[in-house]
Amino acid sequence: MTLFQRTIRDLHQMLLDREISSVELTEAVLGQIDAVGEQTKAYLLVTRELALRQAKAADERLRARRDVKPLTGIPIALKDVLCVKDVASTAGSKILKGFLPPYSATVVDRLEAEGAVFLGKTNCDEFAMGSSNENSGYWPVHNPWGLDRVRSASSRPMDASAGTV
């Protein structure tokens, strides 16, 4: 079973048992994003440096068994409507191109406190006004199981074949 077929619970246990580090897990997922990103168009922005910095911090928490939560060290994607302080946010619209929010959304702050690792911002219908992910201001998202198929609602969880866990 590959890392992409495992549940968050399985990955969390693997991190606790030191079978894998968060850096290794994050690099594997980033590799998957690199491998399929051009076909799926799932990400508007990959935050590689931020993800690896957060993964290293998560590994320190895990080694020290300090403040370890179920999401500590787990890579996740954030929909582009969620603001992350000083990380470009467009809500899938060219109108907001270049916007760097001076704050993070509450959910982002909470995920960060849990030790989650942010892979990047996922594409979405412009201002999340749609259900097919075909109406982004940038490009449509393609279904990883069939590139000619509609991806589905932009708020539905992405899967490992699209480069997210």
- CATH fold of 3-152 reads Amidase signature (AS) enzymes (3.90.1300)
Task: Please give the mean pLDDT across all residues of the chain.
Answer: 89
As given in the structure block, the two tokens for residue 152 are 């589905």
Could you give the residue ranges of the DSSP H alpha helices within the chain? 8-16, 22-40, 48-64, 106-114
- pTM equals 0.86
At 129-140, the pLDDT tens digits run 877 777 888 888
Residue 22 scores a pLDDT above 80: yes
Cα gap 18→14, rounded to integer Å: 6
Number of alpha helices (DSSP H) and beta strands (DSSP E) in the chain = 4, 5
